[in-house]
Structure 1
């Protein structure tokens, strides 16, 4: 939480000698928000992947994640959204809850719905496509579509001659990401062919192994693990993970990934409309939703949809996962702390992204979609992805990451400065 208060650096005592709700306004502050958001948003997917590879059911993990993801938005709203005295013209979080701003609220909640669908899809895509490739494809689609829409919604405050070359780099990264996945899948298939037939027999089962009483990080367990990247390692991983992928088409993973990318490309424009009312849906004189209030409504819909779907998935699972119950979820404490941490990281990361976007333009704030750079680091460090792969796979992987790095720098360089809203101008006059 202390990180959030670093940005509280300017107080306005003009006219009324009252503290006004804090907002990030400088380009430097916006970039700082983006950098913190980049780390948070690149780390939480690794935690969900870690739990799935340990054998924890994704329904249990996502329910835990949803709780703390919503709590993060509530904490931001009740702290940064409550700073200073409130008036109708400069409302704090609680006062805005009673204002006639439902058109903007609906945009915010629509953004939360598509984000929840995207996050839920990626949780399953991580198992089929891998953490880094899933993140690269979804993030690139988000930038290609979302940044283009945000550019026009933000009244072209970002430099087009810089922004769109950056978008093109993300598009190239999508193609490279798909190529990395195909090459790595071919490498794994070749490794498995070197094993005896009975070594991989029965791995298409949907049974989830029990890890009760076994610490997966203990030295005894680690000593039994095969080296990362070997065929035996792939077999061991398949045996202990909760989502079984052997024998399933790679199209499942890619379909989930592209669906998630399409969902992610819509949540930022929806949030943009919620906070800036470019289509003038609010009544004259009604203040725009503050970032903190919009983020609260955004997170409410994200929470409700995520919890509802995953409770259904407990009893009607997808992708041949085993059935479970709500009671079993409540009693499943294996990795719950990591799931809670993932929710906090995602919640604070999204909040910081929106704070930076409100100041410098949401198109530029999409630079946080460089999160695959962070996710790939965790994927290689924690999960041994791409170990002992072919030179072709390594070349494609490096090319993908280089293209991503270039795209991020270019997108941040396109940052602009948002003009005051029509409501703010009329208040000052």
Structure 2
């Protein structure tokens, strides 16, 4: 079994994790803005997310000889360690629900604001819990100074979303270039106006894609984006989007402490002589729970969708190959990122790993989100 024994290796793993964890949210956001149904995307994501855990368990979890206190992956599957297994599965449950919530929150609030608020809540709640579970091995003055900064980020992120929503509403209310006010107070395109403008531009030598692409940030751009995307957000309440974000933030704050309890057994739930779950075994059970919850809920959402998303079917999902490679890549990146984060956390402490990963993953997501917003149809 591969064991991370020094902080240098832990830092290397966390550097790889921050790249992966900062990339996958932008891929799912880009697919939603292209119009792919979130149910289809999350089903693809769930498959490779589990695949990453299996690969890590069968490779790094099986390296070397099995030891009494650090058994290999297959050895540990037969041991009486169900209390720790349940903690790991509980962590997978809240992570799956949190990630599923953020997929819809990105549409309502935007990737940058969602990541800032959720990531900051993970630091404020999750890092605080892990600090006490880790027996306070990290310096409190440094750690909680960072926690206080993230608490401020939660407040500022909420204010930014409210400001953005008010700004977009003002732009839409003043738009007169081929768009009309919808029946329920939202905005919808004036089909004839758009058709006439499109014909004129094509006659002047512009292709159809260029003819319909408005300047980023304008009311016309917002309405064209609304027409393409799978989750329609015009006319929605600001509180609805923020509610999704805060719910996701609470869920995502709990998965790392749950895995901490699964691997370190701070509450002494295991029988005497039973070794603690190694991180690879815990991550496998964690990811299995993620997979079951994610697949189960999204198959349900195919037939009973939420957030105004169109109905679909399992047959339609199997035939939807548009953007599937990006959804599969997102699941693989998230799975590898989580696995590397937990391996680094086992060596350096979960509280420190949470704070470092959240900080860098948040900063990585921001430039990707700007690209997704400015290139929605590419």
Q: 2:329 is matched with which residue?
A: 341
Q: 2:357 is matched with which residue?
A: 368
- Tell me by how many angstroms 1:380 deviates: 1.2
Cα-Cα RMSD: 1.7
Unaligned stretches of 5+ residues in structure 1 = 1-20, 207-218, 386-429
Q: 1:227 is matched with which residue?
A: 215
- The yes-or-no answer on 1:66 pairing with 2:54 is no
- The alignment covers a number of residue pairs equal to 353
Query: What per-residue deviation string (whole Å, max 9, x for no partner) do you get for residues 242-264 of structure 1?
Result: 00000111111100000000001
- Tell me by how many angstroms 1:153 deviates: 0.5
Q: 1:178 is matched with which residue?
A: 158
- Tell me by how many angstroms 1:327 deviates: 0.3
Task: Say which SS state the counterpart of residue 305 (structure 2) adopts.
Answer: coil
Is contact 1:64-1:343 (8 Å) kept?
A: yes
User: Which of 107, 122, 143 is the matching residue for 1:127?
Assistant: 107
Task: Show the 5 A alignment for 1:158-177.
Answer: 158-177=138-157
- The yes-or-no answer on 1:109 pairing with 2:89 is yes
Larger relative contact order (C-alpha < 8 A, sep ≥ 6)? 2
Is contact 1:131-1:376 (8 Å) kept?
A: yes
Runs of 4+ aligned residues of structure 1 deviating over 6 Å after TM superposition are: none
Is contact 1:205-1:244 (8 Å) kept?
A: no
Q: 1:411 is matched with which residue?
A: none
Is contact 2:187-2:235 (8 Å) kept?
A: no
Q: Give the 3 Å change call, closer, same or farther, for CA 220–36 of structure 1 in structure 2.
A: farther
Q: 2:249 is matched with which residue?
A: 261
Give the TM-score normalised by the residue count of structure 1: 0.80
Task: Show the 5 A alignment for 1:238-257.
Answer: 238-257=226-245
Give the TM-score normalised by the residue count of structure 2: 0.90
Unaligned stretches of 5+ residues in structure 2 = 189-206
- Tell me by how many angstroms 1:32 deviates: 1.8
Is contact 1:56-1:242 (8 Å) kept?
A: yes
User: Which of 148, 169, 188 is the matching residue for 2:168?
Assistant: 188
Q: 2:338 is matched with which residue?
A: 350
* Range with bigger deviation, 45-54 or 317-326: 317-326
* Range with bigger deviation, 318-327 or 333-342: 318-327
Q: 2:194 is matched with which residue?
A: none
Task: Show the 5 A alignment for 1:205-354.
Answer: 221-222=209-210, 224-354=212-342
Query: What per-residue deviation string (whole Å, max 9, x for no partner) do you get for residues 150-195 of structure 1?
Result: 0110011000111111100110111111111112222212221221
* Range with bigger deviation, 197-206 or 334-343: 197-206
Task: Say which SS state the counterpart of residue 288 (structure 1) adopts.
Answer: coil
Bigger helix share: 2
* Range with bigger deviation, 319-328 or 122-131: 319-328
Q: 1:9 is matched with which residue?
A: none
Is contact 1:146-1:269 (8 Å) kept?
A: yes
Q: Give the 3 Å change call, closer, same or farther, for CA 232–77 of structure 1 in structure 2.
A: same
| Equivalent-residue separation in structure 2 for 1:71 and 1:327 (angstroms) | 22
Is contact 1:200-1:235 (8 Å) kept?
A: no
| Equivalent-residue separation in structure 2 for 1:34 and 1:376 (angstroms) | 19
Is contact 1:46-1:378 (8 Å) kept?
A: yes
| Equivalent-residue separation in structure 1 for 2:211 and 2:357 (angstroms) | 38
- Tell me by how many angstroms 1:42 deviates: 1.2
- Tell me by how many angstroms 1:224 deviates: 3.4
Query: What per-residue deviation string (whole Å, max 9, x for no partner) do you get for residues 326-365 of structure 1?
Result: 0000000010000000000100010011011100010000
